[in-house]
Structure 1
């Protein structure tokens, strides 16, 4: 009977450890990783938005998007999952003007994220395409993945 109790306790301890690790956040989620993922994702989607609007000559390189992220303020470590990431994004818009915008980011433990930007700069949830149809604005709110090991 004793080995069964010991094995059961061991299994419960391992399960508790896994749960605690998952609750604390994925260890590969870092400020640097999020910044490296967010800028290029935004730039690619901004190019897609320009195409929807009929604007040509825009590339991820001309946009030059850069993100600077912080999780929960100065007293919180900039690692792990959570809904409290704020990223300041800077880029050159489709008119050649420098833009800065605050993006609220939720990072999940599986290293995926959802980012939402300022509608005054990136537009509303829907935009009108060149054919007069209302379509989803790809940069209003978007998903991405933080590469593991970043």
Structure 2
């Protein structure tokens, strides 16, 4: 019974995700007209705003949209894609991070950033964070 209920919930979620799509598209069009929207949104977040360094903020000024896409089976994971305008930091116009839920835990994969000359982080090591924060380990 639980398995059947889970399948029905998944069907309903998928249906309503499709129905929300036009609303998200309209919201996207409005957001595009607001300067530095995504930078402001991240800086205003109570946790994420504390994590952004000055260098991060310079790069976030170039985000033109953000997309969250659930895997077909919503229970198996999701991807977050940052879409960027051309910028002085890296060649990519899209950076994606995917979270896959496995029995062993969460697998995280991310786009390898194609840094422009002299713009990459030294040895791929993240720069010093503000405050006394926990470090986020990536795979």
Verify same fold: TM over 0.5.
no
What is the TM-score normalised by the length of structure 1?
Answer: 0.35
The structure that has the greater radius of gyration is: 1
Name the structure with the higher helix share: 2
Structure of greater relative contact order (alpha carbons < 8 Å, 6+ residues apart): 1
Name the structure with the higher strand share: 1
